[in-house]
Amino acid sequence: MEEVTNRVHAAFVKVASNKGAPGPDRQRVERVREHLSVVLENLALALQNDAHRPGDIRRVWVPKAGGGERGLGIFPAWSIAWCKKPCGRL
């Protein structure tokens, strides 16, 4: 479980460095950073108890290089869903 929380933390750092937008819970990266240790602890417990649910996804539209827009899903800050790729390698 420690490896999962380490990867979630690394994914959070990457999201923070990209100035990630708030998800449906409207929590900004700065606010989550203030209590990240609690978020990681709660997430680890939820995963251990098979109780984690990723929650709602907020859809935003971002411009494409060739014109037009594409949909982008933004997960809640507490969700492991946004680190699916790094956590999937376990």
Residue position matching structure tokens 């859809």: 59
7-27 tens-digit pLDDT = 777 877 887 887 777 777 787
40-64 tens-digit pLDDT = 888 778 877 877 777 778 888 999 9
Q: How confident is the model at residue 79 (pLDDT cuts 50, 70, 90)?
A: low
Nearby residues of 34 by Cβ (< 8 Å), 6 or more positions away: none
Rounded Cα distance, 19 and 37, in Å:
19
Q: Are the C-beta atoms of 43 and 78 separated by less than 8 Å?
A: yes
Residue 59 lies in domain = 2-87
Q: For residue 74, is pLDDT > 60?
A: yes
| 74-81 mean pLDDT | 66
Rounded Cα distance, 11 and 5, in Å:
10
Rounded Cα distance, 24 and 76, in Å:
6
- Report how many domains make up the chain: 1
